[in-house]
Amino acid sequence: MSGAISYPNHHKPAHITRIKAHGIHEVKGHKIHHGDCLATLDKIPSKSVDVIVTSPPYNINLSYNSYNDNKTELEYLEWMDHLFKRLKRVLKDDGSFFLNISGSSRQPWLPFLITARLKEHFELQNHIVWVKSIAVDRETSGHFKPISGARFTHHNHEHIFHLTKKGDVKLDRLSIGVPFADKSNINRFGHKADLRCRGNTWFIPYRTVNSKAKKFSHPGTFPVELPLWCIFLHGKRNPVVLDPFVGTGSTLVAADFSGGKGIGIEVDDTYVKTAVQRLKASIMASKKIILTQDEMKLLLQQDPSTRQDGGFQSLLVSLQERLNKTTGELTLENSDLERIPKYAFDYHQGGWEDRLKDIFGRNLGPKLGRTN
């Protein structure tokens, strides 16, 4: 496909100007392209990508290092249109494209204007709402973006549009499933396991951080669980995963967690360096294991609402969220490898500490089996 782009003579958006590529960084089979997303996408083979997960600049004036996030509406939508054409070309016919986007009080129509452009290229197979903060009765969980003034409510959610070429891609819904609240439904409706489809509202809160550096100095990061759930939901083993706005690398970390290979594109050299370092650190400080059905049942017994209690509760909930409930595959991070032995053996309190030992003793071996 030619790299040339044509625009009406009276309107050529300045921010679509091609930027010279600065090379490709490879980390254990994952590739991070330093350069312009449109130019780089033109070089990727057609129908070579299984899953696209991305969150483009929202055009709501966020403070990126190298990108002006305050274009006119027409410029931004034209840029999105050229992007969607390229993404459709590189996506396999049975592939999934997950687009994370949000509006703002200043631009509330933006997500819906984008979907109108998407309709020319894809079918909207699922519309998922990413819930970042929620209040149920008196209990609140998660983190929201506060909005000042009296006209608008706080922003507690974003959109995830699941797009496919024909709207007929079969998904692995139970890979990110949740246990039944009413256990009688399991036998009554012939379910093989205590899992049901999570549905189209995903509660994925940010991990608490106390500085911008903890977010890799990027204004628009998303939790690793978000792209990981998208990849799991698509259901392809060892997928090729693309993020044309890879930022600090969350999608590539998720691709590695899932056993896939990631392709990232990023124009900002600072974010490229961060993504490379972050991916290397994640690969070096993680361990992939496979849980048995019994081990998964034990892990899933922990109530997710106990996350905010800290300690082993938050550990177990975070592991639940990274577990592929169809395959039993789970990636343990370095912090998990430190905390699991501590909670399983140091406290000797019984209960969940013993269950941690039952779940991970076989997988972690002697490292877990230490006692004081």
Q: Which of the pair, 372 or 180, is modelled with greater confidence?
A: 180
Q: Which of the pair, 9 or 277, is modelled with greater confidence?
A: 277
Q: Is the confidence at residue 49, as pLDDT, over 60?
A: yes
CA 126 to chain CA centroid, Å, is 16
- Residue 240 has what DSSP assignment? E
Which amino acid is residue 286, in one-letter code? S
CATH code, residues 14-284: 3.40.50.150
Band the pLDDT of 224: cuts 50, 70, 90.
very high
Band the pLDDT of 12: cuts 50, 70, 90.
very low
Q: Is the confidence at residue 67, as pLDDT, over 90?
A: no
Q: Is the confidence at residue 367, as pLDDT, over 50?
A: yes
pTM of this prediction exceeds 0.85:
yes
pLDDT value of residue 32: 97
Residues 6+ apart with CB under 8 A from 12: none
Band the pLDDT of 141: cuts 50, 70, 90.
confident
Mean per-residue pLDDT, 319-330: 96
The DSSP element (H or E) to which 170 belongs, if any, is: none
Q: What is the DSSP string of 67-132?
A: -B----HHHHHHHHHHHHHHHHHHEEEEEEEEEEE---SS-TTHHHHHHHHHTTT-EEEEEEEEES
Q: Is the confidence at residue 108, as pLDDT, over 60?
A: yes
pLDDT value of residue 122: 98
pLDDT, mean over the chain? 85
Q: Is the confidence at residue 368, as pLDDT, over 60?
A: yes
Rounded CA gap, 282 and 249, in Å? 10
pLDDT value of residue 46: 98
Q: Is the confidence at residue 2, as pLDDT, over 50?
A: no
Residues 6+ apart with CB under 8 A from 67: 15, 57, 267, 268
Band the pLDDT of 251: cuts 50, 70, 90.
very high
Mean per-residue pLDDT, 176-180: 94
pLDDT value of residue 197: 95
Contact 71, 115 (CB under 8 A): no
Q: Which of 308, 305, 248, 295 is nearest to 275 (CA)?
A: 248
Angle of helix 334-341 versus helix 352-364 axis, rounded to 10? 120
Band the pLDDT of 88: cuts 50, 70, 90.
very high
Band the pLDDT of 66: cuts 50, 70, 90.
low
